């Protein structure tokens, strides 16, 4: 395990006492709607103190995608150099392209007390769960194969071959759902987004997460009760 991951792990352990941010790992098959739900939570529900991890990929940008916004688009050589340098928290080959979560942004945001959403495939989610036991993982389940197919076609971003690969891989990805902490059935964006926001709020209300704040309140409570008695 690299020292950077150790640093992150240590910070996650300490996070219980110092309100460091939590990692929310969101996965679904391609076209499952996780991107739409995450955008809705960030922009419409506008959950405060929440950021989005921009991954690195060797996939070519789609029309309208901006480098540094949807992804950092890099060639395979650069990606492999980053892997060798231990710059990724996790990385995986998905549908023939490489995708990875850089440690830097995750460390900066969580150390600053911000929660962060990672949008990764099921392999990436498994890696993060193994590395960081207190991350929260959420699987977004499309309501049916037909809806998934329709969404991928309507998105219009994939060639027929890419579309076929993504549809072929979907059943295996669905099988992984039970390894996640939560499952959201994405039948309706607003409802599904509200559910994701609720999961984030619930994680923030955990005793462990609020320990330092709670101890402060209890200390004050005790000293005031002594003064009164």
**d(Cα 210, Cα 53) in Å, to the nearest integer?**
23
Backbone torsions φ then ψ of 30, nearest 5 degrees: -55, 130
- CB of 160 vs ligand 5GP, minimal distance in Å: 15
- Two tokens, residue 209: 């997460």
Task: Return residues touching ligand 5GP (CB under 6 A).
Answer: 30, 55, 59, 90, 92, 94-95, 99-101, 119-121, 123-124
| Helix, strand or coil, per DSSP, at residue 135 | coil
Measured from the CB of residue 19, what is the shortest distance to ligand 5GP in angstroms?
Answer: 26
Measured between alpha carbons, how far is 223 from 227 in angstroms, rounded to an integer? 6
Closest CB 125 distance from ligand 5GP, rounded Å: 8
Q: Toward ligand 5GP, which CB reaches closer, 50 or 74?
A: 74
Three-state DSSP at 174 gives helix
Shortest separation between residue 198's beta carbon and ligand 5GP, angstroms: 22
Collapse the DSSP code of 90 into the 3-class scheme (helix H, G, I; strand E, B; otherwise coil) and give the result: strand
Q: Which is nearer to ligand 5GP, 95 or 151 (CB)?
A: 95
Ranked by CB distance to ligand 5GP, the top (closest) residue is: 124
40 SS3 class: helix
Closest to ligand 5GP by CB, 21 vs 88, is: 88
Nearer to ligand 5GP, 21 or 124 (CB): 124
Considering beta carbons, is residue 126 or 197 the nearer one to ligand 5GP?
126
CA atoms in the 13 A half-sphere facing the CB of 46: 1
Q: How far is the CB of 142 from ligand 5GP (least distance, A)?
A: 12
Q: What pairing do the DSSP bridges indicate for beta strands 55-57 and 97-102?
A: antiparallel
Give dist(CA 111, CA 14) in Å, integer.
10
């Amino acid at each position: 395990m690299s020292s950077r991951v150790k640093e992150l792990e240590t910070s996650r352990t300490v996070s219980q006492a110092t309100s460091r941010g939590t990692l929310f790992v969101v996965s679904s098959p391609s076209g499952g709607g996780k991107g739409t739900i995450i955008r809705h939570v960030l922009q419409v529900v506008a959950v405060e103190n929440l950021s989005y991890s921009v991954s690195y990929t060797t996939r070519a940008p789609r029309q309208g995608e901006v480098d540094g916004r949807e992804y950092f688009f890099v060639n395979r050589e650069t990606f492999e150099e980053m892997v060798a340098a231990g710059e990724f928290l996790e990385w995986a080959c998905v549908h023939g392209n490489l995708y990875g979560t850089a440690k830097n942004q995750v460390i900066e945001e969580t150390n600053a007390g911000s929660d962060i959403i990672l949008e990764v495939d099921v392999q990436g989610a498994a890696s993060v769960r193994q590395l960081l036991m207190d991350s929260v993982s959420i699987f977004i389940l499309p309501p049916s194969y037909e809806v998934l197919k329709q969404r991928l076609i309507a998105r219009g971003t994939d060639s027929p071959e890419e579309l076929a690969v993504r549809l072929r891989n979907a059943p295996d990805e669905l099988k992984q759902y039970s390894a996640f902490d939560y499952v959201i059935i994405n039948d309706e964006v607003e409802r599904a987004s509200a559910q994701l926001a609720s999961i984030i709020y619930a994680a923030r209300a955990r005793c462990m997460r609020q320990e330092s704040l709670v101890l402060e309140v209890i200390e004050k409570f005790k000293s005031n009760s002594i003064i009164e008695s």
